[in-house]
Amino acid sequence: MFKKSFFAQAKLVTVLQGSILDVAVDLRKSSSNFGKCFKYQLTDTNYGLLYIPEGFAHGFLAFEPNTIVQYAVNNLYNPSTESGIVYNDPTLAIKWHYFDAKNLIFLKKI
């Protein structure tokens, strides 16, 4: 997910329980990393904290049931400005690894 315009958000992401593959894609057209995908594994035992700047799309794949991910953001949430990228976008060709696509469960943001 990513935000457009005034409601763009930078995020701090950490895992309180479980583990995830966290993926961020640079969507800033003026960036030398435009379109580049960054991947990190965050777990409740490595105590990682990931900073995702404004202008990045962000998603994650949970490896364990009952995984809990915590965000801190720098701007208000406005669902009308939210957009997304399909996980298997052929242009980005994100290598998610570790999963069988037929077993994916997509959850709504709460």
Task: Summarize pLDDT for 28-77 with one digit per residue, the tens.
Answer: 999 999 999 999 999 999 988 999 999 999 989 898 889 999 999 998 87
Q: Does domain 2-103 have CATH number 3.90.25.10?
A: no
Give the type of residue at 5: S
Q: For residue 4, what pLDDT band results from cuts at 50, 70 and 90?
A: low
pLDDT for the residue numbered 88: 82
The predicted-structure confidence for 75-96, as pLDDT tens digits, reads as follows: 887 778 878 888 888 888 888 7
Domain boundaries, the chain: 2-103
CA angle at 18 for the pair 47 and 59, rounded to the nearest 5°:
85
Is 25 in contact with 37 (CB distance < 8 Å)? yes
Continuous segment of H or E residues that includes residue 91: none
pTM for this model (two decimals): 0.80
Do 19 and 64 form a contact (C-beta atoms < 8 A)? yes
